[in-house]
Amino acid sequence: MSTIDDLARGLALQKRDREATRARLLEAARLRFAREGYDATSVRDIARDSGVDATLIFRYFGSKKQLFDQATAADLPADLLEGPQEELVARMVRTVVDHDWSEYGGEHPLVAMLRSSAHEDARRRIRREVCDTYVNALRDLAEGEDAELRAELLSAWMVGIGILRSVVATPALAEARAADLAPHIETVATGLLGRPMSGTVDQRGESSRT
């Protein structure tokens, strides 16, 4: 009986070790891809950052591309598309400005993926995530003609905020918080969507206007 118990404990320990190693590889990959992009990041860099042999990356993930896909697959805040419609843009901007993306080097994963935009797979993912997450939701809110165009313009504005903050690091925007942007969010979102929009998010779930 003790032999069976020892075997079970040994297998459980091996599983925990594999999971811990896999988690370290993902963490190192997120930071490397965010800072340097896909092409400039090597498997050896990630393995060295994780303190493991590079062969483990292929054992756990199959390829560098599959590691990239998993490392950059972020779960957006659960409440992003929930809550009052007039606060949607404010919630979207908050994910760029105030959300904790420290595991991605402090950047929104979408901005981090832009560093890999020379890679065709990355471009497709960026296009898909921007359209599915942002453009479609904003288009459904827009009133009047050219809803798709206005939704894309507003999405471009929000992506631009992320780029200027973390890639270009323009001084005023890099230091600004969501509260600082609130009146401008309201003005731009209201103008482009053709309906009253809020610049802030009420933490109690009630609409809060600036």
Could you tell me where in the chain the CATH 1.10.10.60 domains are found?
A: 2-71
Residue 12: which pLDDT band, with cuts at 50, 70 and 90? low
Q: CATH number of 2-71: 1.25.40.80, 1.10.10.60, 1.10.3720.10, 1.25.40.10? A: 1.10.10.60
CA distance 34 to 101: 11
Cβ within 8 Å of residue 86, ≥6 positions away: 195, 196, 197, 198, 207
CA distance 62 to 75: 22
Sequence letter at residue 14 = Q
DSSP category for residue 42: -
So what's the pLDDT on residue 6? 53
Yes or no: say if 58 and 169 are a contact pair by the CB < 8 Å rule.
no
CA-nearest of 42, 165, 175 to 112 is: 165
So what's the pLDDT on residue 187? 96
pLDDT of residue 110 exceeding 80, the answer is no
So what's the pLDDT on residue 165? 84
Record the pTM. 0.68
So what's the pLDDT on residue 208? 42
So what's the pLDDT on residue 207? 41
So what's the pLDDT on residue 70? 83
So what's the pLDDT on residue 18? 81
Q: What is the mean pLDDT of the chain?
A: 81
Element (H, E) at 20: helix 2-36
What residue has token string 């890999």? 116
Per mean pLDDT, which range of 84-93, 99-108, 112-121 is the poorest? 99-108
So what's the pLDDT on residue 7? 52
Tokens of 8: 């079970």
Percent of the chain with pLDDT over 90: 30
CA distance 132 to 113: 16
* Mean pLDDT on 148-176: 89
Cβ within 8 Å of residue 129, ≥6 positions away: 110, 113
**pLDDT per position as a tens digit, 15-59:** 677 888 988 898 898 888 877 888 888 999 999 998 988 999 999
Cα 68-72-112 angle, rounded to 5 deg: 105
So what's the pLDDT on residue 109? 67
C-alpha 195, offset from chain centre: 27
